[in-house]
Amino acid sequence: MVVRYLTSFESHIDETSYTTSSYIKVTLLRWVNTAIVTAVISPFAYTIADGDYLIKSVRILFTAELAQRPILQLSDIAGNLKRHYFAPRAKDQRRMNLLFSTAPYSIGERYTDVTKLLFLTCFYATLFPSAWFFSAAILFVYYWVDKFCVLRVWKQGPKINGNISIYSVYFFLMCVITYAVMGTYYMAMFPFDNVCETDEVVPGDYVGVYELGTNGNAFTYVSTNSKAYKYCDQDLFRYKAAFPPFPSDQPDGSEWMSEIQLKFLPIYARSCIGIISAVGAIVAFRFFIKFALPLFSRTRYMSQGRANEEAFSDVHEIVGYIPHVTIPGHAFPFLMCDITHIDDELIGWQRDNVNGFNTLIDKSQKNRMAENPAFSQVMHWPPSDANSSPKVAQVPVPASAPELIDLAISTRKQKVKGRFSNLFSRS
Protein backbone atom coordinates (compact mmCIF):
# COMPACT_ATOMS: atom_id res chain seq x y z
CA MET A 1 0.00 0.00 0.00
CA VAL A 2 2.84 2.37 0.83
CA VAL A 3 4.47 1.66 -2.49
CA ARG A 4 1.21 2.16 -4.35
CA TYR A 5 0.68 5.46 -2.57
CA LEU A 6 4.20 6.65 -3.34
CA THR A 7 4.00 5.58 -6.96
CA SER A 8 0.72 7.41 -7.38
CA PHE A 9 2.66 10.67 -7.18
CA GLU A 10 4.77 9.72 -10.18
CA SER A 11 3.70 10.38 -13.73
CA HIS A 12 3.71 7.37 -15.99
CA ILE A 13 2.46 7.48 -19.54
CA ASP A 14 1.30 3.88 -19.47
CA GLU A 15 0.54 1.07 -17.08
CA THR A 16 3.71 -0.76 -18.07
CA SER A 17 5.81 2.05 -16.69
CA TYR A 18 3.66 2.35 -13.57
CA THR A 19 3.70 -1.39 -12.90
CA THR A 20 7.45 -1.55 -13.44
CA SER A 21 8.02 1.27 -10.98
CA SER A 22 5.86 -0.40 -8.33
CA TYR A 23 7.49 -3.73 -9.06
CA ILE A 24 11.00 -2.43 -8.45
CA LYS A 25 10.02 -0.77 -5.19
CA VAL A 26 8.04 -3.71 -3.84
CA THR A 27 10.80 -6.14 -4.78
CA LEU A 28 13.48 -4.14 -2.98
CA LEU A 29 11.28 -3.83 0.10
CA ARG A 30 10.55 -7.54 0.18
CA TRP A 31 14.18 -8.47 -0.35
CA VAL A 32 15.19 -6.32 2.55
CA ASN A 33 12.42 -7.34 4.92
CA THR A 34 12.52 -11.03 4.14
CA ALA A 35 16.14 -11.95 3.58
CA ILE A 36 18.50 -9.18 4.58
CA VAL A 37 16.95 -8.00 7.84
CA THR A 38 16.60 -11.61 9.03
CA ALA A 39 20.35 -12.10 8.51
CA VAL A 40 21.35 -8.77 10.03
CA ILE A 41 19.41 -9.15 13.27
CA SER A 42 20.66 -12.69 13.93
CA PRO A 43 23.73 -12.87 16.19
CA PHE A 44 26.72 -14.10 14.26
CA ALA A 45 27.61 -16.90 16.68
CA TYR A 46 24.11 -18.34 16.37
CA THR A 47 24.04 -18.42 12.59
CA ILE A 48 23.98 -22.21 12.31
CA ALA A 49 23.27 -23.03 15.95
CA ASP A 50 20.44 -25.35 16.87
CA GLY A 51 17.40 -23.65 18.32
CA ASP A 52 15.37 -20.56 17.51
CA TYR A 53 18.06 -18.90 15.46
CA LEU A 54 18.79 -18.07 11.85
CA ILE A 55 18.34 -21.46 10.24
CA LYS A 56 15.03 -21.98 11.98
CA SER A 57 13.94 -18.48 10.96
CA VAL A 58 14.77 -19.26 7.36
CA ARG A 59 12.85 -22.51 7.53
CA ILE A 60 9.85 -20.65 8.92
CA LEU A 61 10.11 -18.09 6.13
CA PHE A 62 10.01 -20.79 3.48
CA THR A 63 7.18 -22.61 5.20
CA ALA A 64 5.21 -19.39 5.37
CA GLU A 65 5.82 -18.79 1.69
CA LEU A 66 4.58 -22.27 0.95
CA ALA A 67 1.39 -21.97 2.97
CA GLN A 68 0.50 -18.37 3.67
CA ARG A 69 0.09 -16.87 0.22
CA PRO A 70 -1.81 -19.81 -1.34
CA ILE A 71 -4.22 -19.89 1.61
CA LEU A 72 -4.84 -16.15 1.53
CA GLN A 73 -5.09 -16.07 -2.25
CA LEU A 74 -7.45 -19.00 -2.57
CA SER A 75 -9.67 -18.11 0.36
CA ASP A 76 -10.04 -14.53 -0.95
CA ILE A 77 -11.51 -13.41 2.37
CA ALA A 78 -12.21 -9.82 1.34
CA GLY A 79 -13.74 -10.89 -1.98
CA ASN A 80 -16.01 -13.47 -0.36
CA LEU A 81 -17.12 -11.00 2.27
CA LYS A 82 -17.95 -8.45 -0.41
CA ARG A 83 -19.81 -10.92 -2.60
CA HIS A 84 -21.71 -12.86 0.06
CA TYR A 85 -22.23 -10.38 2.87
CA PHE A 86 -22.04 -6.81 1.63
CA ALA A 87 -23.39 -7.26 -1.89
CA PRO A 88 -26.83 -8.60 -0.86
CA ARG A 89 -27.10 -5.60 1.46
CA ALA A 90 -26.08 -3.02 -1.13
CA LYS A 91 -28.40 -0.05 -1.50
CA ASP A 92 -28.59 -0.10 -5.27
CA GLN A 93 -27.59 -2.13 -8.29
CA ARG A 94 -24.51 -0.02 -9.08
CA ARG A 95 -23.00 -0.55 -5.67
CA MET A 96 -23.83 -4.22 -5.75
CA ASN A 97 -22.13 -4.60 -9.12
CA LEU A 98 -19.05 -2.94 -7.70
CA LEU A 99 -18.95 -5.38 -4.82
CA PHE A 100 -18.86 -8.24 -7.29
CA SER A 101 -15.88 -6.71 -9.04
CA THR A 102 -12.51 -8.22 -8.10
CA ALA A 103 -8.97 -6.91 -8.14
CA PRO A 104 -7.20 -6.96 -11.51
CA TYR A 105 -4.45 -9.39 -12.30
CA SER A 106 -1.06 -7.80 -11.70
CA ILE A 107 1.93 -9.28 -13.48
CA GLY A 108 4.21 -7.08 -11.35
CA GLU A 109 2.97 -8.74 -8.16
CA ARG A 110 3.60 -12.17 -9.61
CA TYR A 111 7.13 -11.25 -10.65
CA THR A 112 7.77 -9.76 -7.22
CA ASP A 113 6.83 -13.01 -5.52
CA VAL A 114 9.09 -15.02 -7.78
CA THR A 115 12.11 -12.71 -7.47
CA LYS A 116 11.68 -12.51 -3.71
CA LEU A 117 11.65 -16.28 -3.45
CA LEU A 118 14.67 -16.59 -5.70
CA PHE A 119 16.57 -13.98 -3.73
CA LEU A 120 15.72 -15.66 -0.43
CA THR A 121 16.89 -18.98 -1.81
CA CYS A 122 20.14 -17.61 -3.22
CA PHE A 123 20.84 -15.72 -0.01
CA TYR A 124 20.57 -18.74 2.27
CA ALA A 125 21.08 -21.72 -0.02
CA THR A 126 24.68 -22.29 1.06
CA LEU A 127 23.69 -22.46 4.71
CA PHE A 128 20.34 -24.08 4.15
CA PRO A 129 20.52 -26.28 1.03
CA SER A 130 16.97 -27.53 1.39
CA ALA A 131 15.98 -23.99 0.33
CA TRP A 132 16.19 -25.26 -3.26
CA PHE A 133 13.58 -27.95 -2.59
CA PHE A 134 11.37 -25.53 -0.71
CA SER A 135 11.74 -23.12 -3.58
CA ALA A 136 10.76 -25.71 -6.18
CA ALA A 137 7.70 -26.69 -4.15
CA ILE A 138 6.67 -23.07 -3.64
CA LEU A 139 6.99 -22.24 -7.34
CA PHE A 140 4.90 -25.29 -8.18
CA VAL A 141 2.18 -24.16 -5.77
CA TYR A 142 2.39 -20.56 -7.03
CA TYR A 143 1.91 -21.72 -10.59
CA TRP A 144 -1.31 -23.58 -9.87
CA VAL A 145 -2.73 -21.03 -7.45
CA ASP A 146 -2.03 -18.18 -9.86
CA LYS A 147 -3.49 -20.15 -12.73
CA PHE A 148 -6.68 -20.72 -10.78
CA CYS A 149 -6.90 -17.05 -9.76
CA VAL A 150 -6.21 -15.78 -13.27
CA LEU A 151 -8.94 -17.96 -14.71
CA ARG A 152 -11.47 -17.81 -11.86
CA VAL A 153 -10.87 -14.94 -9.45
CA TRP A 154 -9.02 -11.91 -10.81
CA LYS A 155 -10.31 -9.67 -13.53
CA GLN A 156 -8.19 -8.76 -16.50
CA GLY A 157 -5.84 -5.85 -15.94
CA PRO A 158 -4.46 -3.41 -18.50
CA LYS A 159 -2.56 -5.02 -21.35
CA ILE A 160 1.02 -4.09 -20.58
CA ASN A 161 4.04 -4.90 -22.71
CA GLY A 162 7.05 -7.06 -21.88
CA ASN A 163 9.10 -4.31 -20.27
CA ILE A 164 8.63 -5.72 -16.80
CA SER A 165 10.26 -8.99 -17.80
CA ILE A 166 13.31 -7.04 -18.95
CA TYR A 167 13.65 -5.51 -15.49
CA SER A 168 13.18 -8.94 -14.00
CA VAL A 169 16.31 -10.05 -15.80
CA TYR A 170 18.27 -7.51 -13.74
CA PHE A 171 16.76 -8.87 -10.56
CA PHE A 172 17.60 -12.41 -11.58
CA LEU A 173 21.16 -11.32 -12.29
CA MET A 174 21.31 -9.74 -8.85
CA CYS A 175 20.16 -13.04 -7.38
CA VAL A 176 23.05 -14.77 -9.14
CA ILE A 177 25.48 -12.24 -7.67
CA THR A 178 23.89 -12.71 -4.25
CA TYR A 179 24.36 -16.44 -4.47
CA ALA A 180 28.01 -16.07 -5.44
CA VAL A 181 28.81 -13.45 -2.78
CA MET A 182 26.93 -15.05 0.10
CA GLY A 183 28.26 -18.50 -0.80
CA THR A 184 31.81 -17.16 -0.66
CA TYR A 185 31.28 -15.42 2.68
CA TYR A 186 29.54 -18.40 4.24
CA MET A 187 32.40 -20.61 3.07
CA ALA A 188 34.89 -18.21 4.65
CA MET A 189 33.07 -17.65 7.95
CA PHE A 190 32.20 -21.26 8.72
CA PRO A 191 31.80 -22.53 11.51
CA PHE A 192 30.37 -19.22 12.81
CA ASP A 193 31.43 -19.78 16.42
CA ASN A 194 34.09 -17.08 16.86
CA VAL A 195 36.38 -19.72 18.35
CA CYS A 196 39.93 -20.52 17.24
CA GLU A 197 42.05 -23.44 18.29
CA THR A 198 45.41 -22.65 19.93
CA ASP A 199 48.60 -24.74 20.26
CA GLU A 200 48.31 -24.77 24.03
CA VAL A 201 46.55 -27.30 26.23
CA VAL A 202 43.87 -26.32 28.72
CA PRO A 203 44.99 -25.19 32.16
CA GLY A 204 44.59 -27.83 34.88
CA ASP A 205 41.75 -25.86 36.52
CA TYR A 206 39.44 -26.72 33.64
CA VAL A 207 39.97 -30.47 33.64
CA GLY A 208 36.81 -32.39 34.53
CA VAL A 209 33.33 -33.43 33.37
CA TYR A 210 30.91 -30.73 32.23
CA GLU A 211 27.19 -30.70 31.57
CA LEU A 212 26.15 -29.34 28.20
CA GLY A 213 23.00 -27.37 27.72
CA THR A 214 20.33 -26.57 30.23
CA ASN A 215 18.54 -29.90 30.45
CA GLY A 216 21.63 -31.80 31.55
CA ASN A 217 21.33 -34.72 29.18
CA ALA A 218 24.76 -34.33 27.55
CA PHE A 219 28.21 -34.33 29.04
CA THR A 220 31.73 -33.57 27.88
CA TYR A 221 35.06 -34.39 29.39
CA VAL A 222 37.99 -31.98 29.37
CA SER A 223 41.22 -33.84 29.85
CA THR A 224 44.71 -32.58 30.53
CA ASN A 225 45.57 -33.09 26.83
CA SER A 226 42.60 -31.15 25.49
CA LYS A 227 43.42 -28.20 23.23
CA ALA A 228 42.69 -24.68 24.45
CA TYR A 229 40.50 -22.33 22.34
CA LYS A 230 40.33 -18.55 22.24
CA TYR A 231 37.93 -15.88 20.92
CA CYS A 232 38.50 -14.73 17.33
CA ASP A 233 36.26 -12.60 15.18
CA GLN A 234 35.15 -14.67 12.17
CA ASP A 235 32.71 -12.14 10.80
CA LEU A 236 34.53 -11.14 7.64
CA PHE A 237 31.36 -9.66 6.20
CA ARG A 238 30.51 -6.97 8.73
CA TYR A 239 33.67 -6.00 10.59
CA LYS A 240 36.57 -6.97 8.39
CA ALA A 241 34.88 -5.86 5.19
CA ALA A 242 37.06 -8.21 3.16
CA PHE A 243 35.81 -8.65 -0.38
CA PRO A 244 36.14 -11.20 -1.69
CA PRO A 245 37.30 -13.07 1.40
CA PHE A 246 40.48 -15.08 1.01
CA PRO A 247 42.22 -17.27 3.61
CA SER A 248 44.81 -14.52 3.97
CA ASP A 249 42.15 -12.27 5.51
CA GLN A 250 42.25 -14.25 8.72
CA PRO A 251 44.02 -12.39 11.54
CA ASP A 252 47.52 -13.68 12.31
CA GLY A 253 47.45 -16.17 15.12
CA SER A 254 43.66 -16.45 14.97
CA GLU A 255 43.11 -18.71 11.98
CA TRP A 256 40.00 -20.86 12.05
CA MET A 257 39.68 -22.24 8.53
CA SER A 258 39.92 -25.97 7.96
CA GLU A 259 41.92 -27.53 5.12
CA ILE A 260 38.82 -27.84 2.97
CA GLN A 261 38.07 -24.16 3.46
CA LEU A 262 41.65 -23.24 2.65
CA LYS A 263 41.43 -25.26 -0.55
CA PHE A 264 38.02 -24.15 -1.81
CA LEU A 265 37.71 -20.58 -0.59
CA PRO A 266 40.09 -19.12 -3.22
CA ILE A 267 38.09 -20.93 -5.92
CA TYR A 268 34.85 -19.51 -4.52
CA ALA A 269 36.34 -16.01 -4.28
CA ARG A 270 37.66 -16.00 -7.84
CA SER A 271 34.40 -17.42 -9.15
CA CYS A 272 32.57 -14.66 -7.32
CA ILE A 273 34.71 -12.01 -9.01
CA GLY A 274 34.13 -13.70 -12.36
CA ILE A 275 30.37 -13.81 -11.90
CA ILE A 276 30.18 -10.18 -10.82
CA SER A 277 32.31 -9.14 -13.80
CA ALA A 278 30.15 -11.13 -16.21
CA VAL A 279 26.93 -9.71 -14.79
CA GLY A 280 28.42 -6.22 -14.85
CA ALA A 281 29.33 -6.65 -18.51
CA ILE A 282 25.82 -7.86 -19.37
CA VAL A 283 24.22 -4.93 -17.54
CA ALA A 284 26.62 -2.42 -19.12
CA PHE A 285 25.88 -3.82 -22.57
CA ARG A 286 22.13 -3.65 -22.01
CA PHE A 287 22.40 -0.06 -20.76
CA PHE A 288 24.48 0.86 -23.76
CA ILE A 289 21.87 -0.58 -26.12
CA LYS A 290 19.00 1.09 -24.28
CA PHE A 291 20.40 4.52 -23.45
CA ALA A 292 23.60 5.27 -25.35
CA LEU A 293 22.87 3.79 -28.77
CA PRO A 294 19.69 5.80 -29.45
CA LEU A 295 21.68 9.00 -29.04
CA PHE A 296 23.57 8.54 -32.28
CA SER A 297 22.04 5.58 -34.07
CA ARG A 298 19.00 5.32 -36.30
CA THR A 299 18.29 1.81 -35.09
CA ARG A 300 15.97 2.95 -32.33
CA TYR A 301 13.04 1.17 -33.89
CA MET A 302 13.47 -2.50 -34.65
CA SER A 303 10.49 -4.31 -36.10
CA GLN A 304 9.93 -7.86 -34.98
CA GLY A 305 8.51 -10.54 -37.24
CA ARG A 306 6.57 -10.04 -40.44
CA ALA A 307 4.01 -7.28 -40.69
CA ASN A 308 0.45 -8.44 -40.18
CA GLU A 309 -1.46 -8.17 -43.46
CA GLU A 310 -4.85 -7.92 -41.81
CA ALA A 311 -6.22 -4.38 -41.82
CA PHE A 312 -7.31 -2.57 -38.67
CA SER A 313 -10.89 -2.12 -39.84
CA ASP A 314 -11.19 -5.83 -40.61
CA VAL A 315 -10.53 -6.91 -37.03
CA HIS A 316 -13.43 -5.98 -34.78
CA GLU A 317 -11.84 -7.11 -31.55
CA ILE A 318 -9.14 -4.43 -31.53
CA VAL A 319 -10.00 -0.94 -30.41
CA GLY A 320 -8.80 2.62 -30.80
CA TYR A 321 -7.07 5.03 -28.43
CA ILE A 322 -10.07 6.59 -26.72
CA PRO A 323 -9.18 8.79 -23.72
CA HIS A 324 -10.96 7.71 -20.59
CA VAL A 325 -10.58 7.84 -16.84
CA THR A 326 -11.61 5.43 -14.14
CA ILE A 327 -13.43 7.07 -11.28
CA PRO A 328 -13.63 5.08 -8.04
CA GLY A 329 -17.17 4.01 -7.29
CA HIS A 330 -18.04 3.36 -10.93
CA ALA A 331 -17.74 0.06 -12.69
CA PHE A 332 -17.09 1.58 -16.11
CA PRO A 333 -14.65 4.31 -17.09
CA PHE A 334 -15.69 7.79 -18.12
CA LEU A 335 -14.80 9.02 -21.58
CA MET A 336 -12.85 12.26 -21.83
CA CYS A 337 -13.75 13.03 -25.41
CA ASP A 338 -16.64 13.66 -27.73
CA ILE A 339 -17.51 10.37 -29.40
CA THR A 340 -20.21 11.69 -31.69
CA HIS A 341 -18.19 11.19 -34.85
CA ILE A 342 -16.56 7.87 -34.20
CA ASP A 343 -17.67 4.31 -34.43
CA ASP A 344 -18.70 2.84 -31.05
CA GLU A 345 -16.68 -0.26 -31.80
CA LEU A 346 -13.51 1.77 -31.41
CA ILE A 347 -14.24 2.23 -27.72
CA GLY A 348 -14.18 -1.46 -27.00
CA TRP A 349 -16.75 -1.60 -24.18
CA GLN A 350 -20.24 -0.44 -23.42
CA ARG A 351 -21.96 0.01 -20.10
CA ASP A 352 -25.25 -1.43 -21.30
CA ASN A 353 -27.49 -1.19 -24.31
CA VAL A 354 -29.74 1.47 -22.79
CA ASN A 355 -27.41 3.98 -21.20
CA GLY A 356 -24.50 3.71 -23.60
CA PHE A 357 -21.23 5.24 -22.46
CA ASN A 358 -20.29 7.34 -19.47
CA THR A 359 -18.85 10.61 -20.64
CA LEU A 360 -17.49 13.60 -18.77
CA ILE A 361 -18.58 16.05 -21.43
CA ASP A 362 -21.86 17.76 -20.74
CA LYS A 363 -24.06 17.63 -23.83
CA SER A 364 -24.93 21.29 -23.44
CA GLN A 365 -21.24 22.19 -23.58
CA LYS A 366 -20.39 20.26 -26.69
CA ASN A 367 -20.44 23.24 -28.98
CA ARG A 368 -18.23 25.19 -26.68
CA MET A 369 -15.79 22.30 -26.43
CA ALA A 370 -15.62 22.21 -30.19
CA GLU A 371 -14.50 25.85 -30.23
CA ASN A 372 -11.90 25.41 -27.53
CA PRO A 373 -11.19 21.73 -27.08
CA ALA A 374 -10.45 21.38 -23.39
CA PHE A 375 -11.14 17.69 -23.59
CA SER A 376 -9.43 15.29 -25.93
CA GLN A 377 -10.49 14.97 -29.54
CA VAL A 378 -10.96 11.73 -31.38
CA MET A 379 -11.18 11.57 -35.15
CA HIS A 380 -11.93 8.59 -37.32
CA TRP A 381 -11.76 8.28 -41.06
CA PRO A 382 -13.01 4.80 -41.88
CA PRO A 383 -11.54 3.26 -45.02
CA SER A 384 -14.99 2.76 -46.53
CA ASP A 385 -15.23 6.51 -47.02
CA ALA A 386 -13.78 6.96 -50.47
CA ASN A 387 -13.44 10.73 -50.12
CA SER A 388 -11.17 10.62 -47.11
CA SER A 389 -7.57 10.05 -47.99
CA PRO A 390 -5.97 9.12 -44.65
CA LYS A 391 -7.44 5.99 -43.09
CA VAL A 392 -6.46 6.75 -39.58
CA ALA A 393 -7.83 7.31 -36.11
CA GLN A 394 -6.34 10.34 -34.49
CA VAL A 395 -6.47 11.24 -30.82
CA PRO A 396 -4.92 14.55 -29.80
CA VAL A 397 -4.84 14.90 -26.04
CA PRO A 398 -4.90 18.47 -24.74
CA ALA A 399 -3.03 19.17 -21.56
CA SER A 400 -6.22 20.21 -19.85
CA ALA A 401 -7.66 16.75 -19.36
CA PRO A 402 -5.88 16.00 -16.07
CA GLU A 403 -6.92 19.27 -14.52
CA LEU A 404 -10.55 18.85 -15.47
CA ILE A 405 -10.76 15.27 -14.39
CA ASP A 406 -9.06 15.91 -11.10
CA LEU A 407 -11.38 18.77 -10.41
CA ALA A 408 -14.20 16.33 -10.76
CA ILE A 409 -12.47 13.69 -8.70
CA SER A 410 -11.50 16.10 -5.97
CA THR A 411 -15.07 16.31 -4.75
CA ARG A 412 -17.02 13.20 -3.85
CA LYS A 413 -16.70 11.04 -6.90
CA GLN A 414 -19.97 9.24 -6.74
CA LYS A 415 -21.96 12.43 -6.50
CA VAL A 416 -20.10 14.33 -9.16
CA LYS A 417 -21.03 11.74 -11.69
CA GLY A 418 -24.65 12.77 -11.31
CA ARG A 419 -23.94 16.18 -12.76
CA PHE A 420 -22.83 14.59 -15.95
CA SER A 421 -25.31 11.83 -16.39
CA ASN A 422 -28.15 10.44 -14.37
CA LEU A 423 -28.34 11.68 -10.82
CA PHE A 424 -32.09 11.53 -10.85
CA SER A 425 -32.65 8.47 -12.91
CA ARG A 426 -33.56 6.39 -9.82
CA SER A 427 -32.50 3.28 -11.60
Partner 1 sequence: MLPLHSPFYVEDLERTVLQCPEPDFFSSEEPMDLYYKILSVDADIERTADVTYPASSVFITFETEEMQRRVLKEMTHPKLSKSVVDSRYKFEGLVLEITEPDEPSSIRWKDLDELESVSSPVKFDIFSCYFEETFSHILIIDTDHSTRCHLYDHVRAHCVRGCYHCSCKKQKHYMVSDFDCYFQLSHPNGSEIFDFLRVSYR
Coil, strand or helix: which one is 36?
helix
Binding of residue 18 to partner 1 (CB under 8 A): yes
Contacts of 421 (CB under 8 A, 6+ apart): 355, 358, 359
CB 78 within 8 A of CB 72: no
With respect to partner 1, which residue has the nearer C-beta, 89 or 159?
159
Asked if residue 43 binds partner 1 (CB under 8 A), the reply is: no
Residues contacting 8, CB < 8 A, separation 6+: none
Q: Candidates 295, 354, 387, 389: give the one binding partner 1 (CB under 8 A).
A: 295
Task: Please give the angle made by the CA atoms of 130, 135 and 140, to the nearest 5 degrees.
Answer: 135
Please report whether residue 395 would count as binding partner 1 according to CB under 8 A.
yes
Rounded least distance, CB 45 to partner 1, Å: 16
Query: What is the phi-psi region of residue 329: left when phi exceeds 0, alpha when psi lies from -120 to 50, beta otherwise?
Result: left
Q: Look up residue 114 and give its DSSP letter.
A: H
Q: Choose one: 59-67, 183-191, 262-270, 314-322; the region binding partner 1 (CB under 8 A).
A: 314-322
Judged by CB under 8 A, the stretch of 211-219, 253-261, 290-298, 351-359 that binds partner 1 is 290-298
Among 208, 251, 294, 356, binds partner 1 (CB under 8 A): 294
Selected range binding partner 1 among 133-141, 193-201, 218-226, 291-299, rule: CB under 8 A: 291-299
The yes or no reply on residue 280 touching partner 1 (CB under 8 A) is no
What is the per-residue DSSP string for 253-290? T-----HHHHHHHHHHHHHHHHHHHHHHHHHHHHHIII
- Of 244, 113, 130, the residue nearest 187 (C-alpha): 244
**Cβ-based nearer residue to partner 1, 161 or 223:** 161
**Contact call for residue 356 and partner 1 (CB under 8 A):** no
Nearer to partner 1, 197 or 403 (CB): 403
Q: Name the minimum Å distance from CB 370 to partner 1.
A: 12
Site for partner 1 in 147-176 (CB under 8 A): 158-161
Min separation Cβ 35 and partner 1, Å: 11
Applying CB under 8 A, does 322 fall inside the site for partner 1?
A: yes
Is the CB of 150 or the CB of 407 nearer to partner 1? 407
What phi and psi values does residue 154 have, to the nearest 5 degrees? Answer: -75, 155
**What is the C-alpha to C-alpha distance for residues 63 and 135, in angstroms, rounded to an integer?**
10
The verdict on 365 binding partner 1 (CB under 8 A) reads yes
- Taking the C-alpha atoms of residue 390 and residue 385, their distance in angstroms, rounded to an integer, is 10
- The residue from 1, 11, 50, 213 that contacts partner 1 (CB under 8 A) is 11
Does residue number 393 form part of the binding site for partner 1 (CB under 8 A)? yes
Smallest gap from residue 7 Cβ to partner 1 (A): 8
Q: What is the DSSP string of 146-191?
A: HHHHHHHTPBP-----THHHHHHHHHHHHHHHHHHHHHHHHHHHTT
Q: Which of 250, 323, 342, 357 binds partner 1 (CB under 8 A)?
A: 323
CB 327 within 8 A of CB 408: yes
**Which residues ranging from 183 to 242 are in contact with partner 1 (CB under 8 A)?**
238
Q: Does 35 bind partner 1 (CB under 8 A)?
A: no
Torsional sign, CA 413, 415, 418, 422: positive
Q: Is 218 helix (H, G, I), strand (E, B) or coil?
A: strand
Stretch that binds partner 1, among 71-79, 197-205, 264-272, 391-399 (CB under 8 A): 391-399
Q: Which of 249, 312, 332, 351 binds partner 1 (CB under 8 A)?
A: 312
Q: Does 102 bind partner 1 (CB under 8 A)?
A: no
**Burial (CB count <10 Å: 0-12, 13-18, 19+), residue 374:** middle
From candidates 49, 90, 96, 408, binder to partner 1 by CB under 8 A: 408
Residue nearer to partner 1 on the CB measure, 297 or 353: 297
Is residue 6 at the binding interface for partner 1, with CB under 8 A as the rule?
yes
Stretch that binds partner 1, among 10-18, 111-119, 209-217, 279-287 (CB under 8 A): 10-18
Instruction: Please give the distance of CA 128 from its chain centroid, rounded to a whole number.
Output: 24
* Residues facing 196 on adjacent strands: 230
Would you list the DSSP string of 320-343?
----EE--TT-SSPEE-B--TTS-
CB 183 within 8 A of CB 163: no
Amino acid identity of residue 95, one-letter, is R
Q: Is 380 helix (H, G, I), strand (E, B) or coil?
A: strand
- Lay out the site mask for partner 1 across 234-253 (x = CB under 8 A, - = otherwise): ----x---------------
